[in-house]
Each structure stands twice: as C-alpha cells, then as structure tokens.
Amino acid sequence: MIIQFSIYVIPYLAILAIILPYLVIIFRLKSSEDLKITALLLIGTVVWILGFALEIINVTLAGKVIFNNLGYLGSLAISVIIFILSAKLAGFTRLVKKDVVIAISILPAADFVYHIVNDISGLVQKNLTVRPDGILIATSGKSYEIAGWVWIGYNSILILLSLIFLFMILAGRHKFFRRQALILLLSVIAVFTIDLLHSLKLLPVITNPAPFVLCLAWIIYWTAGKRYLIMGEVVPINYESIIENINDSVVVLNKKDEVNFMNRPAQDLFSANPDFMGKQISSFWPGYSLDIAEGQPEAKKDIMINTGGQDKYFDVSLTPVRIRQKEIAGKLLVMKDITERKEYEDKIKYMSFHDYLTGLYNRAFFEEELTRLNAGRNLPLSIVMGDVNGLKMINDTYGHEKGDELLKKVAEILKQSFRKSDIISRWGGDEFIILLPLTGYSKAEEIAGRVKKACSGHDTEDMPISISLGIATRLKEDESIEEILKAAEDKMYTDKMSDEKRTHRSIISSIEKSLDEKKYETEGHVKRMEGLALMLGKNLKLSKTELDELTMLSALHDIGKIAVADSIILKPGKLTPEEWEMVKKHPEVGYRIAKSSVDLAAIADAILYHHENWDGSGYPEGIKGTEIPLMARIISIVDSFNAMTSDRPYRRAFSRERAIKEIKKDAGIKFDPELVEAFLNIANSK
C-alpha cells in the first residue's frame, strides 16, 4: 500500500477545506491585478499545505520526497509573493515589474533545484528519516546546512522588506486600510517566525504550526474585508489596478488633497513626475481649488485646462470616497476629455444663431435681439435694411458660387462699416438688416453712406457690388417696432428702383465684354450682323421699338454662352456629345439672365428660342413654325449667315455665294421660308 490514512493529516485537510472557497471567490472576482497577486499567494498556501498532507499519508520514501518538495515549493512561493503584494500595496510598482520579479525569484528557484537534488541524493544514500507525524527530516550533512542558511538569510530579507512596506501602509492610509494592513503585518510576522523557529527545532511540537497560523490569518483578513468585496477594497489600495484600465484621467486624493494615486492618462495630462505620491494636487494643477474644489467635498464642472500647449475641455467630477457610507477617507477626481463634444456643441450653438454662408447673425438671433433692445433705454434705435442688387442675375449668369461670393463680400463690407455694438444679420436671401441701438437717423445715414462708398470701391469687372439701403429710426416708446421695420423696408425698395437698374446695366456690360473675348467674329463682323438684322427688320416694316430690340438681340442673343466653359466655346475640333449638351443649354441660361433685367426682359423669349427650327427639330423646346417668336426667327437666319461667313478654328469662312446657297437650302427646314426670301433679296442686293 502506497497511501495510509494518518490522524496527523486531518488538520491539514480541514485547513484546505476552509481556504479553498476563498480561492474560488477570488477567481470569480478576477477584477484587478491585486486580486491576482492575492490569488497566487493563496495558491502558494494551498500548495504548501497540500504538500504536507500528501507527504503524511504517503508511506513510500520516494513519495514523501516528492511531496516534501511540493510543500517546499509552496513555502518558497509564499515568501516571494508576499514581497510582491506588499510592494504593490505600498505603491512601489517598479518593484513588481516582470524583470524585477524574475530577478527576485532566481535564488528561490536555485534553492528549490538544489533542495530536490540533495533530497534525491539523500534518498539514494538513505540519509532521510521520517518524523512521527510522517514528515521527512533531512540529514544530508554540512553542505546542506550551508545552503539552508543562505536561503534563510535571503528569505529573511524578503520578509523584512515586506514588513517595511506594510508599516508604510500603516503610516499613511485610512484606518480601514490600516486595520487590514495590520492583520497582514501580524500574519507575516507570526507565520515566518513560527516557521523559522520550527526549522531551528526551537518549538516543543512535532508538526509545523505555521500553515495553521497562516490559515487563521487569511480567515481573519478576509472576514474583516468581506463587506468591501463589492467595492474592490479587498486589499488596501486595490482601486489602483482598476483605475489603471480607465481611459479617463483619474486622481485619488486624501483628505488633505494629497495625491495617493494617479493613473497613466492623468500623469500624461499633468506631465507628472514618477514621484507624484504624497504631493498636493495643486502642484500639478494650480487652478484646482479655484476651478473645482472651492472648499466643497463634491463638485462637477466643465473646465478648460491647458495641456501640452493646447487648451482642452474636461468634464471634471470630484467625489468623496467614504468608508461605511459615513467617514470621508479621501476624494476621487475624474476628468473626462470632452474637447470634441464641446467643440461640436459650440459649433451647433454658433450655427443656431449665425448664417452659415456669411458668418453674420441670422434672422432668429436678430428677432431675439430686437425684443431685447426694444426698450426705452436703447432709444433712439435705428434699423437699416439692405438688399443686394443684381444677385439673381449674377446667379443666373455665373452660377450660385459667384452669387455666394458676392454675398460674402457684402457681409464683409457691412462688418467693416458698422460698429461692434451694432447687430448685423442676414435677413434672408439677398437681404440684410442691422440694429443700431442708441443711434439717431443722421448717424445711421452716415454709416449707410460708408457702406455705399465701400461697395463702389469693391467693384470688379465681372461682379459689380451694390446694395440698396433703407433707414428708419424709433424715437419714442409708443412707436411700433413693426412700423419702423416697414418704413425701413419701403425706403430700401425706393432706393432699389434706381440702384438695381444701374447694377444690371453694369453686369450686362461686363457680360458683353466677356462674350467679345469668347467670340470668333471680329468687331466688323458683329456690326455687319446688326446691320443685316436691321435691314431685314425694316424690310418687314418692324416698329422703332422692335428694331431697337432686334439690335440688342443681335449683340446679346448668345448671352447664355457666358456660362459655358472657354475650353468648349474655343475648342478647335469637334465637340463631344457631352460638350454639345453643355452648349445647347445656353439659350435657357440667356433667357434667365434677360428675365432678371428690366432692360433685357423684352428680348428674353427671342434669346430662348433663337435655336429653334422651322420644322421643330431645334432646341431647347422643339417648337416649330410660327410658334417661334418673329425676333427669334429673324436672328436665327442672320446669325447662321454671319457664322458661315466668319472664320472658325476648325474651318475657313464660307464664300458669300456658298452661304446664301446654304440658307436657301434650309428654307422650310431650319428657317422661315418667307423670311429667307426677304433675307436673300437683301443679301443679293449688297
């Protein structure tokens, strides 16, 4: 029989039955590094006790040697792990790094190997004896005694350092933590003192009582701390391991605002040195007491902190750390970086009261300010209303990007001309409105004059800047603000009647100049087209007004080509289908431009339909016959003849005779046959 029950094994089995549930609890918690270290310490205890138990019940000498070394391995591990745990609890994290732990474990590992070799050698030489309780006694000789004393010395150093760390916890922690540290301290002293005395055969007992004392210590330690399991306070500063894994900046303070712990994000935030323990938080954050604490144990604020030369916003909460929900042991400072959220909120707030295009206040903000300023203390209160001239024509001619550019320039002029105390808002579309508190009519008129002058100074060749302005002033509290707004609007529209005409003429002049640069024809050819058109018009007995419109149409029928890219207009080769579709849009663009101007409105339809064909094969709408306006039918013939007799990058000009032949051939197809006959009479007579 290899195994035989012994009464001496009962205490060891009882101990195992008691401490194994604690080990299960720790593994189920598995929430922190400190608990992992504690679990290792308990495993070492279990191995130590299990080795004793198996050694007692094993009757073979070889079996006893194996389990004796198993117990010895557990005792070696306990010494090293207690040192690691004590260093960790005291805040000496550098001593528990992987390379340091390996270095600490080298000598115990060497001693364990030496112990096994020695025991195997002793087994062969029959130099091992068994105590009455079934435990082996080594009698290997002097060399073993020397090795044993070396380990006792090293082990004593580890235990001494562990005791120093535990004393440090007693000196600097809350009384709850001191109570747990005291239990751990007394346990270490008791267990290793008893184990040492038993090794030196100075105790009057056969069985080593150290495992029983260690078991009792764990029961007391865990019983004292069990109510704090849910708080993660099974060990004195277990919160460090939890907080280290939080992305927010976390600082643990004592009641004197001294730093007990600071996780990595917090160290980076405050550029803290490694020796931050025990220093005042104000040494890292000078604005701490002013910004957050204010003498209160609990606070929550959004605060801006300059870190790394950059201003960042943090959601800062200061919460008291209480023991048993009563006494305050310290404070927990949690700082969450909300810079992106704050910037987004500021952007949303800005957008809710500002116009996205010009950056000026929007109508909603203006109406709030109007309500606020609508009081007697702000009188006289002047209102200036403005309307940008020619915006629609600019949009139709050059596109909305150009129109947006015009609005931005006008907004910049308004900001430069008015005062900081004035409320400048975009009322909507092309309209602006300005509130001038404590400003009389004459002063408002003076500022409006500056605006007009600034606009004329910003004119460009393709985009003249003009704004019509209307001013009204509220002098008495009994005057309705709605009436003042209406008066300013009426004056603005009166001003607009003359301003817009000048602006449109200026825009049309700039368009004509741009078109001249895009055309193939010389100035002589253009004049000849106007002459032919007038001759045909007179032949048809058109009125003076119609002849004037025909002259204008001769010059501006292709006004829509201003929106077609130069690369297409001036392309020397054949156009692609996509490019041809772009060209075919110019009558519609020209129509919108003409409709935007009072001066050109009369020829808008002729511009739209001057590429329609008599048989309905033209564009943009495919109308035919007399559905096509007379002016469009006339200019279609004249424009085609002028184009054929002019040089193009892709061909030479046709002769007069060939051009006449082509016009005659297309009578009834592209052109009105009656108009062709009248035109040929004129062309042949020249």
Residues contacting 535, CB < 8 A, separation 6+ = 682
Q: Give the pLDDT of residue 524.
A: 59
pLDDT, average across residues 525-553: 87
| Cα–Cα distance list, 649 to 13, 45, 570, 645, 652 (Å) | 108, 100, 8, 13, 8
Asked if 185 and 166 touch (Cβ cutoff 8 Å), the reply is: yes
Reported as a pLDDT band with limits 50, 70 and 90, residue 237 is very low
Residue 599 in this model has a pLDDT that exceeds 70: yes
Q: Which residue has the higher pLDDT, 227 or 42?
A: 42
Q: Give the pLDDT of residue 459.
A: 65
Q: Which residue has the higher pLDDT, 175 or 284?
A: 284
Q: Give the pLDDT of residue 414.
A: 95
Q: Give the pLDDT of residue 173.
A: 55
Residues 374-423: tens digit of each pLDDT: 877 889 999 999 999 988 888 888 888 889 999 999 999 999 999 999 99
The encoded tokens of residue 600 equal: 């050109």
Q: Give the pLDDT of residue 143.
A: 45
Q: Which residue has the higher pLDDT, 322 or 368?
A: 368
Q: Give the pLDDT of residue 617.
A: 93
Virtual torsion, Cα 30, 35, 38, 39, nearest 10 deg: 0
Residue 577 in this model has a pLDDT that exceeds 60: yes
Q: Which residue has the higher pLDDT, 652 or 369?
A: 369
Residues 83-136: tens digit of each pLDDT: 887 887 776 767 777 787 888 888 888 877 777 776 666 554 445 677 777 777
Most confident of 199-203, 324-328, 487-491, 678-682: 487-491
Q: Give the pLDDT of residue 141.
A: 45
Does a cis peptide bond (omega within 30 degrees of 0) precede residue 108?
no
Reported as a pLDDT band with limits 50, 70 and 90, residue 605 is very high
Residue 229 in this model has a pLDDT that exceeds 50: no
Question: Residue 188, class by beta-carbon neighbours within 10 Å (0-12 exposed, 13-18 middle, 19+ buried)?
Answer: buried
Among 220-234, 463-477, 637-651, name the one with the lowest average pLDDT: 220-234
Does a cis peptide bond (omega within 30 degrees of 0) precede residue 620?
yes
Q: Provide the percentage of residues in the chain whose pLDDT is more than 90.
A: 24
Reported as a pLDDT band with limits 50, 70 and 90, residue 478 is confident
Q: Give the pLDDT of residue 303.
A: 77
Residues 178-188: tens digit of each pLDDT: 666 777 788 88
130 has which bridge partners?
A: 136
Q: Give the pLDDT of residue 123.
A: 53
Cα four-point dihedral sign 440, 441, 443, 444: positive
The end-to-end CA distance of the chain, in Å, is 141
Residue 7 in this model has a pLDDT that exceeds 90: no
Residues contacting 205, CB < 8 A, separation 6+ = 198
Q: Which residue has the higher pLDDT, 119 or 144?
A: 119
Reported as a pLDDT band with limits 50, 70 and 90, residue 172 is low
Q: Give the pLDDT of residue 292.
A: 57
Round to whole Å and give the CA distance between 487 and 490.
5
Residue 616 in this model has a pLDDT that exceeds 90: yes
Residues contacting 458, CB < 8 A, separation 6+ = 409, 413, 465
Q: Give the pLDDT of residue 573.
A: 79
Domains, the chain, ranges and CATH? 7-231 (1.20.1070), 246-342 (3.30.450.20), 354-505 (3.30.70.270), 519-685 (1.10.3210.10)
Reported as type and span, the H/E element at residue 569 is: helix 566-569
Asked if 362 and 453 touch (Cβ cutoff 8 Å), the reply is: no
| Cα–Cα distance list, 67 to 40, 51, 109, 393, 545 (Å) | 19, 5, 17, 100, 123
Reported as a pLDDT band with limits 50, 70 and 90, residue 505 is confident
DSSP 182-201: HHHHHHHHHHHHHHHHHHTT
Q: Which residue has the higher pLDDT, 186 or 541?
A: 541
Round to whole Å and give the CA distance between 385 and 429.
13
Average pLDDT, the chain: 80
Reported as a pLDDT band with limits 50, 70 and 90, residue 452 is very high
Phi, psi of 570 (to 5 degrees): -100, 15
Reported as type and span, the H/E element at residue 632 is: helix 630-644
| Cα–Cα distance list, 72 to 2, 111, 188 (Å) | 21, 10, 17
3-state secondary structure of 522: coil
Q: Give the pLDDT of residue 258.
A: 82
Round to whole Å and give the CA distance between 662 and 676.
11
pLDDT, average across residues 415-444: 94
Residue located via tokens 């019509």: 468
Q: Which residue has the higher pLDDT, 201 or 487?
A: 487
Contacts for 101-110: CB closer than 8 Å, 24+ residues apart: 104/80, 104/158, 105/80, 107/151, 107/154, 108/76, 108/77, 108/79, 108/80, 108/151, 108/154, 108/155, 109/76
pLDDT, average across residues 170-199: 72
Among 296, 337, 287, CA closest to 320? 296
Asked if 236 and 177 touch (Cβ cutoff 8 Å), the reply is: yes
Q: In what order do the strands lie in the sheet with 431-436?
A: 423-428, 431-436, 381-388, 467-474
Residues 279-307: tens digit of each pLDDT: 888 888 877 765 555 445 556 677 777 77
The encoded tokens of residue 555 equal: 């010059």
- Hey, what amino acid is at 667? A
Q: Length of the chain in residues, anyone?
A: 686
Q: Give the pLDDT of residue 281.
A: 83
pLDDT, average across residues 76-88: 82
Q: Give the pLDDT of residue 620.
A: 93
